[in-house]
Structure 1
Amino acid sequence: MDCDVLIVGGGPAGLSLARSLADAPLRVIVVEKQPHAALEAPGYDGREIALTHRSIGTLKALGAWDLLPPEDVSPLDEARVLNGASPFALSFDPASHGGGPLSLIVPNHRIREALFRTVEHQPNLTLLAGVGVAALKTSARAAEVTLDDGRTLSAKLLVAADSRFSGVRDRLGIGAEVNRLGRSMMVCRVRHDGEHHGVATEWFDHYQTLAMLPLNGRRSSAVLTLPAAEMDGIAALDEAALGAELTRRYQGKLGRMEVDASAHVYPLATTWSRHFAATRAALIGDAAVGMHPVTAHGFNLGLQSQATLAKLVIAAAQRGRDIAAPSLLRRYEMTHRLASRPIYAATNWLVRLYTDERPGARIARHATLRAGSRLPLARQAITAMLMQR
Structure 2
Amino acid sequence: MTMPHSYDVIIVGAGPAGLAFARALAGTRLRIAIIDQSPAATLAAPPCDGREIALTHRSIATLQRLGAWQRLDPAHIAPLREARVLNGERSFALSFAGPHEGDRLGSLVSNHHIRRALFQSTVDQTGLTLLAGTNIRGVRTDADAATVLLDDGRSLSARLVVGADSRFSFVRRQLEIGAQVNPLGRSMLVARVAHAAAHRGIATEWFGHGQTIAMLPLNAPRVSSAVLTLPSAAIDRLAALDGVALGAELTRRFRARLGAMAVLEGPHVYPLTTTYAHRFVARRAALVGDAAVGMHPVTAHGFNLGLQGAVKLADLIAEAAQHKRDIAGDILLRRYEAAHRLASAPLYASTNLLVRLYTDDRPVARIVRPLALRAAARLPMVRTAIARRLMQQ
Tell me the TM-score range normalised by the shorter chain: over 0.9
CA–CA separation in structure 2 for the residues paired with 1:144 and 1:136: 6
1:385 is displaced (CA, Å) by 1.5
RMSD: 0.9
User: Structure 2 length as normaliser, TM-score?
Assistant: 0.97
In structure 1, which of residues 83, 87, 97 is the aligned counterpart of residue 87 of structure 2? 83
Q: Is the 1:97–1:384 contact (alpha carbons within 8 Å) kept by the matching residues of 2? A: no
| 8 A contact 1:26–1:124 mirrored in 2 | yes
Once the two structures are superposed, what CA deviation does each residue of 1:181-223 show, in whole Å capped at 9, x if it has no partner? Answer: 0000001000000011110000000100000000112100000
After TM superposition, the structure 1 = structure 2 runs for residues 82-121 of structure 1, keeping only pairs within 5 Å, are: 82-94=86-98, 96-97=99-100, 99-121=102-124
Q: Give the conservation status (yes or no) of the 8 Å contact 2:137–2:151.
A: yes
Task: Answer whether contact 1:206 1:357 (CA < 8 A) is retained.
Answer: yes
Partner of 2:352: 348
Q: Which runs of 4+ in 1 moved over 4 A?
A: none
Please give the alpha-carbon distance, in whole angstroms, between the structure 2 residues aligned to 1:269 and 1:97. 36
Q: Does 1:293 align with 2:291?
A: no
Matched, 1:216 2:219: yes
SS in 1 for 2:188: strand
Query: 1:123 Cα shift?
Result: 1.4
Counterpart CA distance in 1 for 2:91 and 2:101 is: 28
Q: Work out which of the residue numbers 47, 51, 56 in structure 2 matches 1:47.
A: 51
**Hey, what does 2:181 align to over in structure 1?**
178
Whether 2:279 is the aligned partner of 1:270: answer no
SS of match in other structure, 1:233? helix
Check if 1:245 corresponds to 2:245: no
Structure 2: tracts of 5 or more residues without a match:
none
Instruction: Give the residue type in structure 1 aligned to 2:261.
Output: M
Q: CA deviation at 1:387?
A: 2.1
Contact 1:8 1:159 in 2 (8 A): yes
The amino acid across from 1:149 in the alignment is D
- Residues 190, 268 of structure 2: 8 Å contact kept: yes
Is the counterpart of residue 157 in structure 1 residue 138 in structure 2? no
Is 1:138–2:110 an aligned residue pair? no
1:336 to 340, 357, 360: 340
Q: Deviations over 1:154-187 (max 9, x none)?
A: 0001100000000000000000000000000001
Question: Given residue 86 of structure 1, which amino acid in structure 2 is its aligned partner?
Answer: R
- Does structure 1 residue 317 correspond to structure 2 residue 321? yes
* Alpha-carbon separation, structure 2, partners of 1:258 and 1:22: 44
**Structure 2 CA distance for aligned equivalents of residues 178 and 188 of structure 1:** 27
Match of 1:71 in 2: 75
8 Å contact 2:97–2:103 — kept in the other structure?
Answer: no
Distance 1:98 1:77 in 2: 9
What TM-score results when the alignment is normalised by the length of structure 1?
A: 0.98
Match of 1:3 in 2: 7
State how far apart, in whole Å, the 1-side matches of 2:373 and 2:127 are.
51
Q: 2:26 and 2:127 mapped to 1: Cα distance?
A: 7
- 1:284 equivalent in structure 2: 288
Q: Secondary structure at the match of 1:384?
A: helix
CA pair 369-118 structure 1, distance change in 2 beyond 3 A: same
Separation of aligned partners in 2, 1:48 and 1:153: 36
- Match for 1:258 among 238, 244, 262? 262
TM-aligned CA deviation for residue 148 of structure 1 = 1.0
**C-alpha displacement of 1:369:** 1.0
Could you tell me which of 1, 25, 28 is aligned with 2:29?
A: 25
* SS in structure 1 of the partner of residue 266 of structure 2: coil
Count how many residue pairs are aligned between Structure 1 and Structure 2.
388
| In 2, Cα distance between equivalents of 1:25 and 1:320 | 12
Q: Secondary structure at the match of 2:332?
A: helix
- Please report how far the alpha carbon of residue 99 of structure 1 lies from its aligned counterpart in structure 2 after TM superposition: 3.8
